[in-house]
Amino acid sequence: MFDELRKISLFADLSEGDLERLYQMAETVSIPAGDLVLREGDQGDSLFVVLDGEGYQASGQPGRPARVVQAWAVLWRDGPARAGAAISLGGTLQECRLLVISQVAFQTLLSCSPSASLKILHTVTSRLRSTESALIQNEKMAGLGTLAAGLAHELNNPAAAIRRSAAQLRDALAERDRLAARLHSPAIDQYQKESLGALQEELPERKATAPPGDPLALCELEDGLQEWLEDHGVGEAWELAPVLVASGWDRDELGRVAERFSATQLSFVVRWLAASSSVYDLLEEVGKSAEAMSDIVKAVKTYSYLDQAPIQEVDVVESLENTLVLLRPKITAGITITRDYADDVPRIEAYGSELNQVWTNLIDNAIDALAGQGELTLRAFTAESVVTVEVVDDGPGIPPEIQPRIFEPFYTTKAPGIGTGLGLHVSYNIVVHKHRGQLQVASKPGETRLRVILPIRLAGNNAGVT
């Protein structure tokens, strides 16, 4: 029988005498197949060990599968469930013979055997550390998933723009080549050919003279140019006018072009100008989109500090900006970002990737607190050999009774399944324990301020930096 008890990790290191004492205080019962041993929320004060048969345990949450167990243990926790309430469901798959160890028997063992107390404490502490480590890793993976989703969204926009522009560019090039062939007919004299050559050289620079983006002024220019095109017998004027205006053409310039060509030739020249302008506009859009993708990839590489030593010379302002790039999909139109960076913020010696995890947690929490509407302020400055970073939001604030607990592991005010309660705990450990800095909170309705104070140089670092 002792072997069955020793299979339970809680009792694995107990002596034969302690196991015998525990067994003598326990009770053996039989449970038919299909019966429940524990119900979620039931008052419980016993540990049930399976001697014969097979049992299962389920969390009671949808989508969480049951698992075969050798024992059911009642767990205690703070929160909605009352003390001593079971937080899982347990039952039998086959007829089971169970050893029932009551709370009184367990407490008697602890009071009578100091060695049992120490060994059980050691086992429980070890399991808690293992559980916390696993949950912290889960928190990191959840954060990575959020960033990956945001990254995919950010890359998809310029990629879609490139794909769209490439498709339109094919049509624009075909139209330009078709019109260029018509313009190189024998009917075009040498003077006109030179004029076309001058226009061709001018086209790539036309964007520099594009009109301002005032919608009303732009609409007036397009209407005026459309009227001019119609007066000069150019077909589809309503379609050509916006393209030409976007590249800086106006009535006066086209009037000078019209002086060099006949009415029949002018129609082809204007169409050729519009098609050529579209080609350069689309090429510019492709270039800007590719540059945007390059900036995102650069931000990700800098954020993760790939292929670099653990400790680097970190540009704090740059790391804050890179974090904003990756969290951009969460920043809705109703959220205003205010940057207040001092000009003299130095590079600091830090664990770069872990520090970025801190910025991610703090900024992400601030965005959640704003609920789509408000102002997020990022501030960085230096004084007395430290760099201070503040993440401030004008959300509802953190209630005073909660503020002392926000850095506790597993403490969260978010709904189940949304937060693990480890983000600020992990951030605190990174700032305080790993960087020997400070992480402070000050909150009232309308302003929550998370302040991170970091030394410019890590104490006792002999590893060098990159």
258-277: average pLDDT: 84
The rounded distance, in Å, linking the Cα atoms of 360 and 325 is 11
Same domain, 397 and 333: yes
Residue 281 inside a domain? The answer is yes
Q: Is the residue at 248 inside a domain? A: yes
338 phi/psi in degrees, rounded to 5: -110, 125
Q: Are both 291 and 337 inside the same structural domain?
A: no
- My answer on whether 283 and 367 are in the same domain is no
- Please say if the pLDDT value at position 236 is more than 90: no
**Listed residues 260, 295, 330: the one ending a domain:** 295
Mean pLDDT value across residues 136-159: 67
Q: Is the pLDDT of residue 171 over 60?
A: yes
Q: Which of 33-42, 200-209, 320-329, 381-390 has the highest mean pLDDT?
A: 381-390
The mean predicted confidence, pLDDT, of the chain is 77
Which residues lie across from 388 on neighbouring strands? 381, 453
- How much is the average pLDDT of 453-464? 72
391 has a pLDDT exceeding 90: yes
| Boundary-marking domain end, from 56, 84, 112 | 112
Residue 123 lies in a domain: no
For residue 301, give the amino acid letter.
Answer: K
pLDDT digits 0-9 by tens, 103-142: 788 788 778 777 777 777 777 777 667 766 666 566 666 6
* Domain co-membership, 340 together with 420: yes
Confidence (pLDDT) at 224 = 83
pLDDT grade for 78, boundaries at 50, 70 and 90: very low
State which of 60-64, 227-231, 295-299 shows the largest mean pLDDT: 227-231
**Domain of residue 27, residue span:** 2-112
Residue range 215-228, pLDDT digits in tens: 777 788 888 888 88
Q: What is the DSSP string of 10-70?
A: GGTT--HHHHHHHHHH-EEEEE-TT-EEE-TT-B--EEEEEEES-EEEE-SSTT---EEES
Work out the average pLDDT over 232-257: 82
Same domain? For 155 and 284 the reply is yes
Reported residue count of the chain is 466
pLDDT at residue 414, rounded to an integer: 63
Asked whether residue 226 is assigned to any structural domain, the reply reads yes
Whether the predicted pLDDT of 88 surpasses 50: no
User: Same structural domain for residues 59 and 194?
Assistant: no
Average pLDDT over residues 13-18: 78
117 within domain boundaries: no
Same domain, yes or no, for 330 and 282? no
Using CA atoms, how far apart are residues 459 and 311, in angstroms rounded to an integer?
12
Residues 162 and 208 reside in one and the same domain: yes
29: domain CATH number is 2.60.120.10
Return the pLDDT at 150.
64
Q: Which of 84, 112, 140 is the last residue of a domain?
A: 112
How many whole angstroms separate alpha carbon 401 and alpha carbon 225? 67
Residues 98 and 218 in one domain: no
Instruction: State how many domains the chain has.
Output: 3
Residue 448 lies in a domain: yes
Is 197 within the bounds of a domain? yes
CATH code for position 425:
3.30.565.10
Supply the pTM of this predicted model: 0.51
Pair (333, 258) in one structural domain: no
Residue 118 lies in a domain: no
Examine the domain organization and report whether 173 and 73 are in the same domain: no
**Which pLDDT score is estimated for 348?**
94
193 with 276, same domain?
yes
